[in-house]
């Protein structure tokens, strides 16, 4: 005899999905997409082999991530770099030079002094490292920090900054053991907040939303940001937040639920999202359709892993490398 009770849960899940067309749980790939499993049990797009070396050049792989050790992470990035060299060696060299001469990598303080002395660019790199170190040493050095990221123009857009402060973001920035990824994301968000007039910030935390994994509820908490406050004050605020599961679609779904007008969602994360009932890309499309706002999504990647939650086929979504000195300007140009 057919035991129908064994299939009730599965059937109910499928019926809910049909009732909410276009919504796929993050623990499953979007139908007919090229998504692959990430390291946390969710699905995302694989980073293009030209994207991954850029992340590796800026962020490195020292210390690994919350989910992947240093050795396998380095091996994965080396394989991607080898693929690029094999396919188009002439294209690789300018990328390396751009990162090196542009002072884009946060650890770039070991470069040798030029024969004619330090350049202004070298000084900015050193200042950025000193300002980053101020996060942990509680030494206020905010002027140097903002200066190191250049002249970032205001977009005049309505921006929602969403920071992933989950457990996996407690891993250190590669090569910077004194700065956690969630602390770096707070610092990067401050750069954008310092020039924008219409923004607000939230953090992924424990909350009332159901997670696909019991014991890891998801939610959003307000995260007041002001360019007038010290970096270490913001860091302490993020450390006090209750960590839950990571659902990078929540900022979009909650904005839609509360009819909040947003021109751009900027999410700072390691891309290891897994807990939600809908993928961020699907949530953004639903937001656009129901509000009539051509909202954009920027994902600031804080780890050199091989995943992305921005749909590479959607021109209104963008993955950028976190803690890259050029990132705030790239975000501004994309949103404007």
* Mean pLDDT of the 31-58 span: 87
Q: How many alpha carbons fall within 13 Å on the CB side of residue 202?
A: 22
* CATH label of the domain that carries residue 150: 3.40.50.410
Question: Looking at residue 140, what is its pLDDT?
Answer: 39
Sheet holding 159-164, edge to edge: 218-222, 199-209, 159-164, 264-269, 296-301, 317-321
* Rounded Cα distance, 121 and 18, in Å: 55
Q: Do the domain assignments include residue 38?
A: no
Residue 326 located in a structural domain: yes
Going by C-alpha positions, the residue among 249, 336, 262 that lies closest to residue 295 is: 262
By mean pLDDT, which of 4-8, 306-310, 323-327 is the weakest?
A: 4-8
User: Does any domain span residue 26?
Assistant: no
In a domain, 294, yes or no: yes
Distance CA 223, CA 34 (A): 34
Other C-beta atoms closer than 10 Å to the C-beta of 13 total: 12
Burial class (CB in 10 A: 0-12, 13-18, 19+), 170: middle
Residue 222: phi, psi to the nearest 5? -60, 140
Q: What is the mean pLDDT of the chain?
A: 77
**Domain containing residue 262:** 120-335
Q: Determine, yes or no, domain membership for 327.
A: yes
Lowest average pLDDT, out of 42-56, 70-84, 104-118, 160-174, goes to: 104-118
Are 287 and 306 contacting, i.e. CB atoms less than 8 angstroms apart? no
110 in a structural domain? no
Q: What is the pLDDT of residues 217-238, one digit of tens each?
A: 667 888 888 877 777 777 778 7
Question: Does 62 have pLDDT greater than 90?
Answer: no
Distance CA 183, CA 203 (A): 12
Tracing tokens 């939230």 back to the chain, one arrives at 202
Q: In this model, does residue 285 exceed pLDDT 90?
A: yes
Antiparallel, parallel or unpaired: β 199-209 and 159-164: parallel
pTM beyond 0.75, yes or no: yes
Confirm whether 3 is domain-assigned.
Answer: no
Judge whether 279 lies within some domain: yes
pLDDT at 32: 92
Tokens of 51: 């994207």
Q: Where are the alpha helices (DSSP H) in the chain?
A: 8-19, 51-59, 70-101, 120-137, 142-148, 181-193, 231-239, 250-257, 280-291, 327-335
H-run or E-run covering 218: strand 218-222
Q: Is 21 helix (H, G, I), strand (E, B) or coil?
A: coil
Greater confidence, 235 or 260? 260
The number of domains in the chain is 1
Given this model, what pLDDT does residue 225 score?
84
């Amino acid at each position: 005899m057919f035991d129908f009770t064994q299939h009730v849960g599965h059937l109910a899940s499928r019926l809910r999905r049909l009732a909410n067309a276009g919504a796929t749980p993050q623990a499953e790939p979007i139908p007919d997409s090229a998504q692959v499993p990430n390291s946390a049990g969710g699905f995302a797009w694989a980073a293009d082999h030209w994207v991954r070396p850029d992340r590796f050049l800026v962020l490195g792989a020292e210390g690994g991530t919350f989910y992947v050790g240093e050795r396998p992470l380095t091996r994965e990035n080396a394989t991607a770099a080898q693929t690029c060299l094999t396919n188009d060696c002439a294209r690789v060299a300018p990328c390396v030079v751009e990162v090196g001469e542009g002072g884009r990598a946060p650890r770039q303080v070991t470069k040798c002094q030029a024969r004619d002395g330090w350049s202004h660019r070298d000084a900015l790199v050193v200042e950025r490292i000193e300002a980053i170190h101020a996060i942990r040493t509680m030494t206020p050095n905010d002027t140097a920090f903002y200066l190191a990221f250049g002249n970032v123009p205001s977009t005049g857009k309505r921006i929602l900054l969403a920071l992933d402060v989950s457990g996996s973001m407690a891993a250190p920035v590669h090569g910077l053991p004194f700065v956690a990824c969630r602390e770096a994301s707070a610092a990067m968000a401050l750069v954008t907040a310092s020039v924008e007039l219409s923004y607000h910030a939230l953090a992924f935390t424990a909350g009332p939303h159901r997670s696909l994994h019991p014991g890891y509820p998801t939610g959003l908490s307000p995260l007041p940001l002001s360019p007038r406050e010290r970096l270490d004050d913001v860091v302490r605020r993020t450390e006090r937040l209750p960590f839950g599961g990571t659902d990078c679609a929540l900022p979009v779904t909650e904005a839609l639920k509360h009819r909040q007008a947003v021109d751009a969602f900027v999410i700072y994360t390691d891309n290891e999202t897994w807990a939600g009932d809908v993928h961020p890309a699907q949530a953004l499309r639903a937001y656009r359709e129901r509000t009539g706002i051509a909202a954009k999504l920027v994902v600031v990647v804080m780890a050199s892993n091989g995943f992305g939650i921005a749909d590479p086929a959607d021109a209104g979504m963008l993955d950028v490398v976190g803690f890259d000195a050029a990132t705030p300007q790239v975000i501004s140009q994309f949103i404007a």
